[in-house]
Chains A and B, each alone.
Chain A
Amino acid sequence: MAHLTRRTADLLKPFSVALSSMRLLTTTSTTPITVETSLPFTGHKIDPPSRSVETTPQELMTFFRDMALMRRMEIAADSLYKAKLIRGFCHLYDGQEAVAVGMEAAITKKDCIITAYRDHCIFLGRGGTLLECFSELMGRKDGCSKGKGGSMHFYKKDSGFYGGHGIVGAQIPLGCGLAFAQKYSKDENVTFALYGDGAANQGQLFEALNMAALWDLPAILVCENNHYGMGTAEWRAAKSPAYYKRGDYVPGLKVDGMDVFAVKQACKFSKEHALKNGPIILEMDTYRYHGHSMSDPGSTYRTRDEISGVRQERDPIERIRKLVLSHDLATEKELKDIEKEVRKNVDEAIAQAKESPMPEPSELFTNVYVKGYGVESFGADRKELRAVLP
């Protein structure tokens, strides 16, 4: 948890002030607590891991804070989009936070994650800052991709986050390429390639899976099944919506994606499996509260009752809140204080991001090519440097 507490260190300080020293001891303690996942795992051609997960009070509180931060960030992005500060496409992740947080808890920054366009929260989980996130969304130069990528192109090379891809399914072969490079360099790390239930019907997934299985690449393919491929429900798009079984010769595991401990256990289990036996498919059963993107209201293909039903029964943050309260790790008020803290941080980051300037006009032409050997310009007729003859 060190990497997360580093990033959220400034959030912890006021928290400790509000607490009695007695409670401080409890919430940062590492005495193990055993938690049962909400549902057992279902395996395809593999023995599923156990339902009991070890955790600590410190981890529980970190999970709560991280998921609250992600939720707040996505809601804030919603308002920014409606205020026309974010343009184009904006795909929000609220409801699915458990997948991002649980996965981070099971792996290191040397493992690689690659995902599609619903990438804001995974970027945060990998160590991205709120400022980089909001600046990129608003197209400012302090963004993680200098404002040139946008919502669908968040990357963080130094912590193994490879994006951020707009074309459905195209990131899966890239993910297998990352796993190939890991095997090539023999560095005992794995790659998590995330995709959605819509992308699960792409041919390139099966092509890449075949190659990963053929060469025992340490690739873990994770299907974040939120049951809707934009407006099409999974039963209308897939003959077999049991995505964890679709690997056929590749083992699979179905996981309750709204339970952060189930996600953590499954990811830990898959990492061990992938390093020894090659690829494995994880299907995270999760749900998104927003529509597919900001231009989709999200209610034409599903009922409001369904959305509020999931929110009441399966919300990941509520589940952690109940666990924290039942184990007496914090009071209601303290949890609310954390949420207020988080909201303040998000608002500050937005204010700071709004101050950030737009990229310089010269940035239009930078990073098209890498300057260096053999390249001095770009374009068919060297628009950057007109040929001037003496």
Chain B
Amino acid sequence: MDRDPRVCVFGEDVGHYGGSYKVTKGLAEKYGDLRVLDTPIAENSFTGMGVGAAMTGLRPVIEGMNMGFLLLAFNQISDNCGMLHYTSGGQFTIPTVIRGPGGVGRQLGAEHSQRLESYFQSIPGIQLVACSTVYNAKGLMKAAIRSENPVVLFEHVLLYNLKERIPDEEYVLSLEEAEMVRPGEHITILTYSRMRYHVMQAAKTLVNKGYDPEVIDIRSLKPFDLYTIGNSVKKTHRVLIVEECMRTGGIGASLTAAINENFHDYLDAPIVCLSSQDVPTPYAGTLEEWTVVQPAQIVAAVEQLCQ
């Protein structure tokens, strides 16, 4: 926001309150009420307003207090955000960033634990990225703001409290690159967002058992970084996808299709995809644990694949 006066923030409680997850804390004091705009509870309309402002050249960062609320703005995101560049024959660019926390948290209930990656992935014209660490959150956010395309940045409710040392100098990450978390030889595990931590936990167990998993955080959900993924598949010949979105029509489903189509010759075993169950997230703690993929399941899946 310092670098470019056209960057502004729209969202509920982003200004004076500092953001419901404190993401925009201090910004309203520094940049004023017009640049950090506290909107009324009208997701469809303020997302539309952000798109309209972007058509004139402003670069709004639109926050959904919870990703699930952005379902109310689906028409604006799909038709106006995603398609205006095309239907206007290139006259308008829509450099918005739409961001917000999603994912299953600590017993937040079904409506507040939604994962919208799978709903948005077919919209032409938008890019989807999911951040997972402090380092890539900063880098991807900067890249998203600087991109001329609309970007949907998926954050996770449970990852806001992470602490990490990051470089002092400025850095921007590429919106289309995956991150190699742990190189290995036996199996490629593809994951993103919070599931990265479950995978790393499972990886510790697996290493003790003598396996050598390669863990890749795909980060870019649309388009997939098939270059990094493909090179990994070529090396290990086995793929396990661990994701938090639903099984049906999820990111994992698209990724499975993409890998099968492009790298079928390199695979020694069918691709296994571990996703959340196709159920609304229950409130009870034990049930909620069972809707998402747990490290024990990851270990079991790897052992079976590597037989």
29 contacts between A and B (CB under 8 A): A153-B88, A155-B89, A155-B92, A157-B92, A162-B52, A167-B75, A170-B75, A177-B50, A177-B54, A177-B55, A180-B52, A181-B52, A184-B53, A204-B42, A204-B45, A207-B45, A207-B46, A208-B49, A211-B42, A211-B49, A373-B143, A374-B127, A374-B146, A374-B149, A377-B176, A378-B124, A380-B224, A381-B257, A389-B234
Residues of B within 8 A of A144 (CB): 89
Residue in A175, A367, A381 whose beta carbon sits within 8 Å of that of B85 in the complex: A367
Q: Which 10 A-B pairs have the closest CB atoms?
A: A177-B52, A173-B48, A207-B42, A381-B258, A174-B52, A146-B89, A177-B49, A145-B89, A207-B45, A370-B148
In the bound complex, what is the Cα–Cα distance between A380 and B88 (angstroms)? Answer: 23
Which chain A residues border B236 with CB–CB below 8 Å?
none
Query: Are B45 and A176 neighbours in the complex by a CB distance under 8 Å?
Result: yes
Rounded to whole angstroms, the CA-CA distance of A377 and B124 in the bound complex is 12
How many inter-chain contacts with C-beta < 8 Å in the A-B complex? 191
Interface residues of B (CB under 8 A from A): 8, 34-35, 37, 39-40, 42, 44-58, 75-76, 79-80, 84-93, 121, 124-125, 127, 143, 146-149, 174-176, 222-224, 226-227, 230-231, 234, 254-255, 257-258, 261-262
Contact residues, A147-175 vs B (CB, 8 A): 147-150, 153, 155-157, 162-167, 170, 172-175
**A126 → chain B, closest Cβ, in Å?**
13
Known: A170-B76, A173-B49, A369-B125. A379 touches B40 (CB 8 A): no
Q: Give the distance in Å from the alpha carbon of A382 to the alpha carbon of B228 in the complex.
A: 13
Please, which residue of chain A has its CB at the minimum distance from the CB of B226? A387
Within 8 Å of chain B (Cβ to Cβ): is A372?
A: yes
> Which residues of chain A have C-beta atoms less than 8 A from B93's C-beta?
370
Contact A368 B42, CB 8 Å, known A173-B52, A211-B49: no
A375 pairs with B176, CB closer than 8 A: yes
Of A145, A184, A387, the residue contacting B34 (CB under 8 A) is A184
Determine how close the nearest CB of chain B comes to the CB of A59; give it in whole angstroms.
30
Chain B: CB-nearest residue to A141:
B89
Q: Residues of A within 8 Å of B, CB-based: how many?
A: 60
Contacts of B146 in A (CB 8 A): 373-374
Task: Give, as a whole number of angstroms, the nearest-CB distance from A158 to chain B.
Answer: 9
| Closest beta carbon of chain B to A168's beta carbon, Å | 10
Q: Which residue of A lies closest to B176 (CB)?
A: A374
- Does B42 lie within 8 Å of A210, measured CB to CB? yes
Contact B88 A155 (CB under 8 A): yes
The prevalent SS among residues of A at the interface is: loop
User: Which residues in B have their C-beta under 8 angstroms from that of A184?
Assistant: 8, 34-35, 53, 58
Distance (Å) between the CB of B122 and the closest chain A CB? 8
Contact of A145 among B45, B46, B88 (CB under 8 A): B88
A386–B262 CB distance below 8 A: yes
With A370-B148, A375-B176 already in contact, the answer to whether A173 and B89 are too (CB < 8 A) is: no
Nearest CB of A to B61, in Å: 14
Q: Which residue of A lies closest to B78 (CB)?
A: A167
Tell me whether A361 is interfacial, beta carbon within 8 Å.
Answer: no
A204 touches B88 (CB 8 A): no
Determine if B79 and A180 form an interchain contact, defined as CB atoms under 8 angstroms apart.
Answer: no
Contact A172 B53 (CB under 8 A): no
Q: Which listed residue, B47, B84, B90, B147, touches A374 by the CB 8 Å rule? A: B147
Asked whether, in the complex, the Cβ of A214 is within 8 Å of the Cβ of B40, the reply is yes
